[in-house]
Amino acid sequence: MTRTPPRRGDVWIDSRLSRRGFLRALGVGGAVVAVGPGLVACGTDPVSTAGPASSAGSSTGTVAWSNWPLYLDTAEDDESSYPTLAAFEESSGISVDYTEDINSNDEFFGKISPQLQAGQSTGRDLIVLTDWMAGRMISLGYVEKLDTSNIPNAKNLISTYQDLDFDPGRAYSLPWQSGMTGIGYNPEQLGREISKLDDLFQDDLKGRITMLNEMRDTMGLILLSMDVQPEDHTFADYEAAIAKLQKLVDDGFIRAFTGNEYAADLASGNIGAAVGWSGDVLQLQADDLGMQFVVPAQGGILWSDNLMVPKGATNKAGAEKLIDYYYDPAVAAEVAAWVNYVTPIDGAQAAMEELDPDLASNELIFPTSATLDMLHSFKPLDEDEERQYQDLFQKVIGA
C-alpha cells in the first residue's frame, strides 16, 4: 500500500491505514467488482525491543514486527488480541512484539533509515512496506536476503507476484496483502455503466469525481487510459499524462484529490464516482449492494505491501518462521476474512470456502486470473525521478 497526506505524502496515511481505520470507524464493511462494465462478487510510538533477544540464526526468542494499523485479524471481543498471532506463538514458542506503527511509507522510512545508514539495528525483525518503498529499501541494501529454507510455504505465492522489477525472484520480500486501484460507483444511482476511465469525464459527473492523491494510483490509471503501460513508460509519456490530468482539473471534472475520505462521500452520494481501492468498495457494499468496483477496460493497478527483514534484525530466522506461518493457506484465509484485501497466497481461496463461502467467491479478495491479467504496476523510480514525478503531480493536485 504508498499512502499520503495526510496520507502517502507519501501519500498513504495514508492510504491504506486511514482507509481501513476510517471505514471500520464508519462501521461499513462487504463487494462488487466490475471489469469493463462490471465484475460482480459479493500513532506511532517507537517499537518496543523488550523481551529476550536472539541471534539472527535462531528461531526462538522474540520477533519484533511493525505493520500498518488494522492489517491483522483481531478477536471480536478484544481488538488488542490477534488470534492467528496467538496461535503462532503457542505452536512455535516464539514471542511476537506486534506494533502498528507504520502510518506512512515515507514517515516510517525517515524513522528507521538513520539506524540503517549507520549499520545499526532498527529494533525490528519484520516490517511491511509498499512496493515502491520496498524497492527503495532493497536498492539501498537495507534489508536481508530471505532464507527460503525457513519459508517452505513461500511456494504458495501466486505466480503473478513471483518476479517483480523491484525484487526479481523475490529474494528480499514477500507480499503481505495486495489491493487493486480502479473505479468505485453505483451504476443504478448514476444511471449508466462505466467501463473505462474516460467514461467518468461526462457532464453528469462534472465536479462529482474524486481521484487519489497517491501519484502511482492516479497517474497509473491515466497512463493506461492513454494506452501506455505504467510499468514501461517514458518521462515524455508521464508529462503527457500530467497534461491530460491538468485539463480534467481545469475543466472542472475533478472535485478533489483525496486519501481514504472519498469512501464517505461515495457512500453518502456526495460524489458520483471515485478512483479508489478495492478494499474500500468491498466494505462499502455492506451498506450499498449496488456499489461496484470497476477495473477499467484498459487496465487497473495492482499494489502490494511487502514483508521484509531489515538489516541488523536480531531474530531473522524467527521472522522467517513467522512469514512461513502466514503463508499457510488456512492462516492466510483467516487474515483475509478480516482485512478484506487481496491475498497473494495460492490455496487461501479453497481454505476460505470452509470459513466463509461468500468471501471465497468475492473477486475483490480472490481476483480471477483474467482480472489479474488486466492489472499493472508502476515502474520503479530512483530518487531523482521520484522527485520529478511527485513535483509535477503535486502541482496539478494543488498539494
Question: Using one digit for the tens of pLDDT, what is the confidence trace for 129-158?
Answer: 999 999 999 999 999 999 999 999 999 999
Range 212-234 average pLDDT: 96
Residues 257 and 340 in one domain: no
10 within a domain of the structure (yes/no): no
For residue 218, how far is the Cα from the chain centroid?
14
The pLDDT score that the predictor gives to residue 36 is 52
21 within a domain of the structure (yes/no): no
pLDDT tens per residue across span 25-71: 433 333 344 545 444 333 223 333 333 333 344 457 999 999 988 89
2 within a domain of the structure (yes/no): no
292 within a domain of the structure (yes/no): yes
Residues 146 and 250 in one domain: no
Provide the residue type at 67 as one letter: N
Range 330-334 average pLDDT: 97
Query: For residue 399, what pLDDT band results from cuts at 50, 70 and 90?
Result: low
Between 223 and 39, name the one with better pLDDT: 223
- In sequence order, what are the beta bridge partners of 52? none
Residues 150 and 116 in one domain: yes
Residues 95 and 188 in one domain: no
Residues 83 and 93 in one domain: yes
The pLDDT score that the predictor gives to residue 51 is 34
Residues 385 and 245 in one domain: yes
Percent of the chain whose predicted confidence (pLDDT) is above 90? 71
265 within a domain of the structure (yes/no): yes
The pLDDT score that the predictor gives to residue 280 is 85
Report pTM.
0.78
Residues 162 and 192 in one domain: no
Average pLDDT, the chain: 86
Residues 252 and 336 in one domain: no
Residues 325 and 393 in one domain: no
Range 75-96 average pLDDT: 92
pLDDT at 19 over 60: no
Query: Which residues span the domain enclosing 68?
Result: 62-178+303-362
88 within a domain of the structure (yes/no): yes
7 within a domain of the structure (yes/no): no
In whole angstroms, what is the distance from residue 77 CA to residue 150 CA?
33
Range 226-232 average pLDDT: 96
Cβ atoms 351, 333 nearer than 8 A: yes
Residues 229 and 342 in one domain: no
Which of the residue ranges 14-28, 74-88, 117-131 has the most confident prediction, judged by mean pLDDT?
117-131
Instruction: Give me the CATH number covering residue 285.
Output: 3.40.190.10
pLDDT tens per residue across span 253-310: 999 998 778 989 999 999 999 999 888 888 888 788 899 999 999 999 999 999 999 9
Residues 224 and 97 in one domain: no
In whole angstroms, what is the distance from residue 228 CA to residue 376 CA?
11
Range 193-217 average pLDDT: 96
Residues 125 and 138 in one domain: yes
Query: For residue 198, what pLDDT band results from cuts at 50, 70 and 90?
Result: very high
Query: For residue 106, what pLDDT band results from cuts at 50, 70 and 90?
Result: confident
371 within a domain of the structure (yes/no): no
Query: For residue 369, what pLDDT band results from cuts at 50, 70 and 90?
Result: confident
Structural domains counted in the chain: 2
The pLDDT score that the predictor gives to residue 348 is 98
